[in-house]
Amino acid sequence: MLYLTIDILGTIAFAISGVLVAMEKRLDLFGVFIIAFVTAIGGGTLRDLLIGNTPVGWMQDLTYVITIFISVVFAIIFVNKLKYLRKSLFLFDTIGIGLYTMVGVEKGLEAELLPVMCIFLGTMTACFGGVIRDILCNEIPVIFRKEIYATACILGALSYFLMIQFPVKDEYAYIAGILVVILLRLLAVRFKISLPNIYKKQVQ
Amino acid sequence: MLYLTIDILGTIAFAISGVLVAMEKRLDLFGVFIIAFVTAIGGGTLRDLLIGNTPVGWMQDLTYVITIFISVVFAIIFVNKLKYLRKSLFLFDTIGIGLYTMVGVEKGLEAELLPVMCIFLGTMTACFGGVIRDILCNEIPVIFRKEIYATACILGALSYFLMIQFPVKDEYAYIAGILVVILLRLLAVRFKISLPNIYKKQVQ
Amino acid sequence: MLYLTIDILGTIAFAISGVLVAMEKRLDLFGVFIIAFVTAIGGGTLRDLLIGNTPVGWMQDLTYVITIFISVVFAIIFVNKLKYLRKSLFLFDTIGIGLYTMVGVEKGLEAELLPVMCIFLGTMTACFGGVIRDILCNEIPVIFRKEIYATACILGALSYFLMIQFPVKDEYAYIAGILVVILLRLLAVRFKISLPNIYKKQVQ
């Protein structure tokens, strides 16, 4: 039940983030829907394909399509009232990657993959939808911008595997994993933390 | 038999549309082949992957590869005689999406998916080859241009599901679905019909 | 044993080629890792998805992830000492496509596909990683540049199928296939061989 709720919340967060990017680019109604849809299901689709879970999740169950549809309608209605589009986008995207990272980890565990592969899978589930969204909207993919992004997903998933080594209830470790991702991303952007430089210093 | 014929005709239409775009971009011989191939099999490959129908269709049967090969050779020979390249491209692409929409719907039904998923699958089968073709050739994907495109596929697939509610032979509803897609796209472009505007009016 | 060794060597070659492109583009540490990873596993992942070999190869076995990790660390350390970055990239990429072409052919044979499909599969395994690498790094994909590239893979794979018609040990034919790809690509670049022109001559 918890896992399904988290999955649906992630779908909502990413669908809204898709609407925000698509409307900033002033795409038409169909374009907004397609971007929202692809953002919301992109990561999960890649994950399901890689582990051979077919037909992919959102095809077996109307829940996802209906959730996305309702989220998009709401987002379109309310977007014109949003004063801080960029900030809202950042927030929904950040919540989305937190939720989806752990959804991906969970699916990896169900497929009996090694922890390191589950971490990969969680990170891909979280990041891939946003990457497709940005490529289709002609933005630089979030994953390649200066800030910590996928690194937050990796560390969040890692913290889950560390926690379940101890006598912690799985649900708590699961939710903690989500919070670690969200918190790391918020802190990284707030304090402008980025990865270390690997190049020789140059006079520019 | 009907279904296979439609699939092959769609393959021919999309292979030719691929050749036309690639030659307009003056790609070399290999580039033309690869674009034609990807355009023709792209949509079906995505569809087969999503429903877990692997090895994907065109790998299990030489028919598709041979069909594409012959279509490309013919198209290359005749393209220099075509006066209206853009118009021919539009025609072959439109026929292609009509045929492939119903091929996708049919495969969805075989996989026992819900009607709404079959409509998605048909639309993806129809649109994805053209989208890859346009991305690889550095054109704006057809699906994001102003005109009705994927919407025609959705409505065509929908009309099929409406028709089979009535005592209509499946073959007739199938062919009617194809014609609805093609007709809607032709009319939309002819009369410059596009989707409604969702943005507040602005002085520009 | 031979087949696994070849697969690992290909992984190393492509991981290094990914590092070289990513560092030339001055991506950050995470960017370098992701490009190296995607370059190394991209072709194999596409191949495994198309034939339905899931969970895809690199997820079932830590070997690939560890190999890529070590290759990237070494490449980053040594890249600043490389005087001829472009030449090194060309070399590693060429070795990579030679090795991966035959890995792909082998997997196609295991899936009992027709020889022509095995040749396709080998070519895709070899070329797809490099194509993703170039798209993500905003380079023109190698496959669309003027030189012989995928054509070398096709001819190498073809020469394997010709050789095994004769009483040749499979291992020898396998290695010969690799060498044909590498040699053809080296010769094509050295002597500036490209595919024949299919366009009418024009005064430019």
pLDDT one digit per residue (tens) for chain B, 204 residues: 788 888 899 999 999 999 998 888 888 888 899 899 999 999 999 999 999 998 898 998 899 999 999 999 999 888 777 767 778 888 888 999 999 999 999 999 999 999 999 999 999 999 999 888 888 887 777 777 767 888 999 999 999 999 999 998 989 999 999 999 999 999 988 887 777 666 665 444
Residues of chain C with pLDDT under 50: 202-204
The token pair at B108 is 């969805």
Residues C29/A196, Cβ–Cβ less than 8 Å: yes
The contacts of residue C62 (CB under 8 Å, 6+ apart) are A114, A116
Say if CB C102 and CB C6 are below 8 A apart. yes
Tokens representing B69 are 């090969």
pLDDT of residue B156: 96
Chains with ≥3 Cβ pairs under 8 A against A? B, C
Whether residues A198 and C52 touch (CB distance < 8 A) is answered with: no
pLDDT at residue number C183: 96
Do C38 and C18 contact (CB within 8 A), yes or no?
yes
- In terms of CA atoms, which chain A residue is nearest residue B46? A49
Comparing CB atoms, the residue among C28, C52, C55 nearest residue A50 is C55
CB-based contact A150 C30, cutoff 8 Å: yes
Contact predicate C41/C66, CB 8 Å = no
B23 vs A200, higher pLDDT: B23
Give the closest-approach CA distance of A28 to chain B in angstroms.
7
Beta carbons of C122 and C105 less than 8 angstroms apart: yes
What is the four-CA torsion angle of B74, B80, B81, B83, rounded to 10 degrees? Answer: 120
Task: Measure Cα distances from A56 to A45, B52, B117, C58, C106 in Å.
Answer: 6, 8, 11, 20, 28
8 Å CB contact of A196 and C55: no
Output the average pLDDT for chain A. 88
With cut-offs at 50, 70 and 90, classify the pLDDT of residue A203.
very low
Angle at B41 between CA B38 and CA B47, to 5 degrees: 125
Number of cross-chain residue pairs from A and B with Cβ atoms under 8 Å apart? 49
**Residue B8 burial (10 A CB sphere; 0-12, 13-18, 19+):** middle
Tokens of C106: 């082998």
Token digits of residue A42: 């992109």
Helix and strand totals (H; E) in chain A = 7, 0
For position A90, what pLDDT does the model report? 87
The interface pTM score, or ipTM, of the predicted complex is: 0.83
Instruction: Tell me the average pLDDT across A171-178.
Output: 94
Tell me which residue has tokens 């492109």: C21
Cβ pair C155, C148 in contact under 8 A? no
User: In the structure encoding, which two tokens stand for residue A109, read together?
Assistant: 């565990």
Q: How far apart (Å, rounded) are the C-alpha atoms in residues C119 and A184?
A: 46
Q: What is the pLDDT of residue B203?
A: 45
Task: Taking each helix axis as running N to C, give the angle between helix A62-79 and helix A2-24, from 0 to 180 degrees, rounded to the nearest 10.
Answer: 40
Cα A123 to Cα B113: distance, rounded to the nearest angstrom? 29
Residues 6 or more apart from B61 whose CB is under 8 A from it?
none
Burial of C84 (0-12, 13-18, 19+ CB in 10 A): exposed
Rounded to whole angstroms, how far apart are CA atoms B195 and C188? 50
Shortest CB distance from A198 goes to which of C45, C65, C76? C76
Place of tokens 């769609």: B10
Neighbours of B145 (CB within 10 A): 14
In chain A, the DSSP E strands lie at none
Distance of CA A13 to the CA centre of its chain: 8
Instruction: Assess B36–C contact: CB distance below 8 Å, yes or no.
Output: no
pLDDT of residue A174: 93
Q: What is the pLDDT of residue C200?
A: 60
CA distances from C49 to A114, C31, C146 (A): 20, 25, 29
Q: Does C54 contact chain A (CB < 8 Å)?
A: yes
Please name every residue paired with C147 in a beta bridge, in sequence order, or none if there are none. C194
